[in-house]
Chains A and B, each alone.
Chain A
Amino acid sequence: MDVLQIVAIGLMATVLIGVLKSQRPELAVLLSVAAGVILFLLVLGKIGSIVVVITDLSSRAGISMVYLGTILKIIGIAYIAEFGAQICRDAGEGAVATKIEFAAKILIMVLAVPIVAAVLQSLLKLLG
């Protein structure tokens, strides 16, 4: 039962952060980072097997790996950026968090531009 383990780690980390927050807020931030990383590492292996299945399905459907790779990259960037931004926001640095999110949006846009261009190209081919 992985879910019990995850909930137990979360509750334990919450209590310990509550103890530390009044005395040492900077260590409380690091503790919440550690708890977040541990919780995510617990489920990352399962995400990996889901990704393998999706890759298999898309190769059977004849979808180019370029598109799937782009989508996976976008999901990864979005996750990492969200993780960092939420930690910054928890620590009371909303401005830094907003900038992290902005940068991640730009990076995602850069990755998505080739796909948009391909869509437009095929649209033009259909029209012309």
Chain B
Amino acid sequence: MGNSIDLIFKIAGVGILVAVLSAILKHAGKEEQGHIVTLAGLAIVFMWVIQLLAALFEQVKSVFRLY
């Protein structure tokens, strides 16, 4: 329960961090690295969300007997 609410804050934190980092890198003239940072942030967040989605699908499957 508390774990899952942490996830919202974690995603928002990664998003803000990625936005700031890519702005800094863009300012320093390293736009390619900024793109890579964006992509890495997206991948990390995607992993978390995919795990959460898998948990949701499992629960829905067991509640609604969708075998």
Contact = CB atoms under 8 A, between A and B. Distances in A.
A88 interface: no
Interface centre among A19, A20, A37, A41 (most CB of B within 10 A): A37
Contacts of A42: 1
Interface residues of A, number: 33
B56 A41 contact: yes
Interface residues of B, number: 33
A12 B12 CA distance: 10
B8 interface: yes
A9 B61 CA distance: 24
A77 B7 CA distance: 26
Interface in B1-59: 1, 4-5, 7-9, 11-12, 14-16, 18-19, 38, 41-42, 45-46, 48-49, 52-53, 55-57, 59
A34 B11 contact: yes
Contact of A23 (B19, B46, B52): B19
11 contacts: A19-B15, A24-B18, A27-B11, A28-B15, A34-B7, A34-B48, A37-B55, A42-B1, A73-B66, A76-B64, A80-B60
Given A24-B41, A69-B65, A76-B65, 5 more contacts: A23-B16, A27-B45, A30-B49, A31-B15, A73-B66
Interface of A: 9, 12-13, 16, 19-20, 23-24, 26-28, 30-31, 33-35, 37-38, 40-42, 44, 47-48, 51, 69, 72-73, 75-77, 79-80
